[in-house]
Every structure is written in structure tokens, then in C-alpha cells.
Amino acid sequence: MLKAIIAPSMLSSDLANLAWEVGWMIECGVDWLHMDIMFVAGRVVFISMKFDYWVICIDIGSSFSHFAPNLTFGAPVIESLRKHTPAYLDCHLMVTNPMDYVEPLAKAGAFGFTFPIEVSKGNWQELVHKIKSKGMKPGVSLMPGTQFKRCSHLYLESENPVEMVLVMTVEPRFGGQKFMPEMLDKVDGGLGPSTIDAAASAGANCIVAGSSIFASPILLMLYPCCPRL
């Protein structure tokens, strides 16, 4: 069994002290940083971080998408981050037209490109081929209500398979939701000390957790200088 990677979701951090929170997580020894980039009321927030090498997972959403109405970012943020870090930028798109984002995100410096199986239209193989042709690694995501067989052909039967399957164990909206155990047969979300073992046993090798990390009384006790206290 592969060693599971812990990726704290920075959406659950104290966003008024994001730089401190990032440093805090790095000091705690995390492997990846899961970043949800927001676009609220037309205001764009650029986040710059400098460190030797850390993986940043970025969820890109659209205010017009039923996936995650609070998330809306694209190539401008990826390009901004790329100027400040060589980190692996893993982009999870929650949009209805992923094909339109392939070239802009590739030019911006994205490494991973995960698209939703539920709303993407057109030739899947054409989309996967285009992602790979631009030097990115393709992945596919499944919402809680989506059956695994909906995407199985993209890596079980395909000559040009995707390289990652992202199984969401909460609805793609906000942090702090409860883990859905019925998703373990497919196994992002609601993960914490009480559910991580079950997810890992089901085959998950990257655990994204938000509220259970940043609201942890143990971590807060170990870091009394935390700005949120």
C-alpha cells in the first residue's frame, strides 16, 4: 500500500493570516498544500508564496457553475503563483467547459488538470489528449452521486488513460461538511482522524482535510502563537 499523503485544505485556514498558516503547515511537516482560489464579487486575490518545493493543489471553480458557486479562478492565479514557486500546481476544475481552460492553464504553468466527469461534454479522449499534449497530467473527478462506472473507461479501457481519479466525499461547496462513508467504495472532503483510516483502507493515497486540521485543539495547543488565538 502506498503511503498516504496529507494535504491540508487551506480554504479552512484563517484567510486573514494565510501566509502564516502556510508556514505553519509546512512546519508541521505536510506533504502538499490544497489551495482553493476564490473570486468573490469581481475581486481577484493573488497569493504569493516562496518556498523550496511544496505541492499546491488548486480548485478552480465558476460562479456560474452548480459545482461550487463560491469558487472561480483560472489562469491568472496559476500564472501569478508560478512566478513565485516551482511547486507542482494540481488544478481541479469545477466548470462546465474544461476544454476551454486547457491551453490557458498550460501556458500559465499548471502541471495537473482534473476535470469533472458530470458536466464535461464532447470527446473525452480528445480532452485527455489535449491535456497531455500541453504537458499536463490529466485527471477526472467524481461527485458523491456519480457512479464509478461513469469514468472507469477513461483509465481501464483507454489507450490514453487519465492519471488520477479524484473521488469527492462531500458536495463541492464549502469546508466543514461531514464525511460520506457511502463514498468509500469509490474514494476529497470531510476527512479527519475518525475517517482517514477507512479512506486509506479503501485505497485513497492522498487525503485532503481542512476543518479537522485547522480546528485541531492539539495543533492549536502546540502552536500558541497562532494568530487565530
Domain with residue 126: its CATH number is 3.20.20.70
Distance CA 147, CA 159 (A): 22
CA angle 30, 91, 67 (to 5 degrees): 110
Q: What is the DSSP letter of 4?
A: P
pLDDT for the residue numbered 135:
97
- The kind and range of the H/E element at 221 are helix 217-222
Sign of CA dihedral 176, 57, 201, 219: negative
Residue 179 pLDDT more than 60? no
Q: State residue 134's pLDDT score.
A: 98
User: Is 143 within the bounds of a domain?
Assistant: yes
Query: What is the pLDDT, as a whole number, of residue 147?
Result: 74
SS3 call for 211: helix
Assess if residue 194 is contained within a domain.
Answer: yes
Nearest Cα residue to 82 out of 46, 134, 38: 46
Distance CA 129, CA 158 (A): 11
- How far are the Cα atoms of 27, 75, 101, 197 from residue 113, in angstroms, in the given order? 28, 12, 9, 27
190 falls within a domain:
yes
User: Cα(84)–Cα(212) distance, rounded to whole angstroms?
Assistant: 29
Q: Is 8 exposed, middle or buried (0-12, 13-18, 19+ CB in 10 A)?
A: buried
Domain of residue 24 covers 5-222
- Asked whether residue 174 is assigned to any structural domain, the reply reads yes
Q: Does residue 228 lie within any of the structural domains?
A: no
Q: For residue 167, is it within any domain?
A: yes
pLDDT grade for 174, boundaries at 50, 70 and 90: very low
pTM as predicted: 0.64
Q: Which pLDDT band holds residue 128 (cuts at 50, 70, 90)? A: very high
Euclidean distance between CA atoms 45 and 43, whole angstroms: 7
The answer to whether residue 53 scores a pLDDT higher than 80 is no
In tens, the pLDDT along 91-104 reads 777 777 788 889 99
Do the domain assignments include residue 9?
A: yes
Which of 36, 52, 59, 185 is catalytic? The answer is 36
The one catalytic residue among 14, 31, 188, 197: 188
Hey, which of 8-17, 86-95, 98-107, 146-155 has the most confident mean pLDDT? Answer: 98-107
Distance CA 92, CA 34 (A): 10
Length in residues, the chain: 229
The model's confidence at residue 129, banded by pLDDT at 50, 70 and 90, is: very high
Higher-confidence position of 119 and 49: 119
How many structural domains are present in the chain? 1
Averaged pLDDT for residues 167-179: 54
Range of weakest confidence among 29-38, 133-142, 176-185: 176-185
137-142 and 112-116 strand pairing: parallel
- For residue 221, the model assigns a pLDDT of 59
188 is catalytic: yes
Nearest CA-CA partner of 47 in 7, 77, 16: 77
The SS3 call for residue 27 is: helix
Q: What is the band of 138 on the pLDDT scale with cuts at 50, 70, 90?
A: very high
> Is position 31 annotated as part of the catalytic site?
no
In a domain, 178, yes or no: yes
Q: Pick the residue with more confidence: 3 or 14?
A: 14
The answer to whether 166 and 114 have CB atoms below 8 angstroms apart is yes
Dist. CA 123–CA 187, nearest whole Å: 25
State the average pLDDT for the chain. 66
More confident residue, 35 or 113: 113
Nearest CA to 209 among 160, 169, 150? Answer: 169
Closest CA to 110 of 127, 88, 94: 88
